[in-house]
Amino acid sequence: MNRINFVLAAAVVGAGAMLAVSAASAHGGATGVVKERMDQMKAMGESMKTLSRMLQGQAPYDAASVRREAGAIAARGGAALTDLFPEDTGDPPSEALPSIWREPQRFRRLADDLVAYAEALSAAADNPRPGPMASAPADMAAMMGGGGPQAMMGGAPGAMIGGDPAALATMPPQAAFQRLTDTCGACHDRYRAEKD
């Protein structure tokens, strides 16, 4: 092998190794089910950002896009989410707190609520909208029959954060989106380690 071919081959191998290292370090070196759940959470976060921009008037509202993003979230919730948290997968680089395994019913309920509210948002996508929501109204939780994430924290297993998904499906999409964001926040507050 002449010197030029050797240098080119070494450069290709080096670049490949750097790509592999950067891909692994994207989630702090996570592999297996921990990386899979981090990837799923990242994908849900991207869907939430897209929805938020549309519902806040920062991007054009498109009902088909709302249904698509809400459907993507619903597909990642429920058992699809809880199955990504088998026992003994909480060591770093996992961001999951031990409480996720100590409270499986509560975690399962939140994962199921995620599906229900995402489906309600999808169903509400074509409903009339009062205008972009700058932020959730202060009395949204009271209006929806719940007290937000804090009220849910002490709620009984099986009780949703607030707002019947069937009723939310008949309201402006912002109402279902608020329940969806409350559910994400409640789960992250209770089960995800603080980021540095």
pLDDT tens by residue, 143-157: 333 444 333 333 433
The rounded distance, in Å, linking the Cα atoms of 75 and 90 is 23
Is residue 160 predicted with pLDDT exceeding 50?
no
Annotated domain spans of the chain: 1-30, 31-191
| Residue that wins the pLDDT comparison between 109 and 20 | 109
Q: Is 80 exceeded by the pLDDT of residue 136?
A: no
Q: Which of 3-7, 50-54, 101-105, 112-116 has the lowest mean pLDDT?
A: 3-7
pLDDT at 109 over 90: yes
Sign, CA torsion 149/151/155/161? negative
What residue has token string 């499986």? Answer: 104
Domain 31-191 has CATH 1.20.120.10: yes
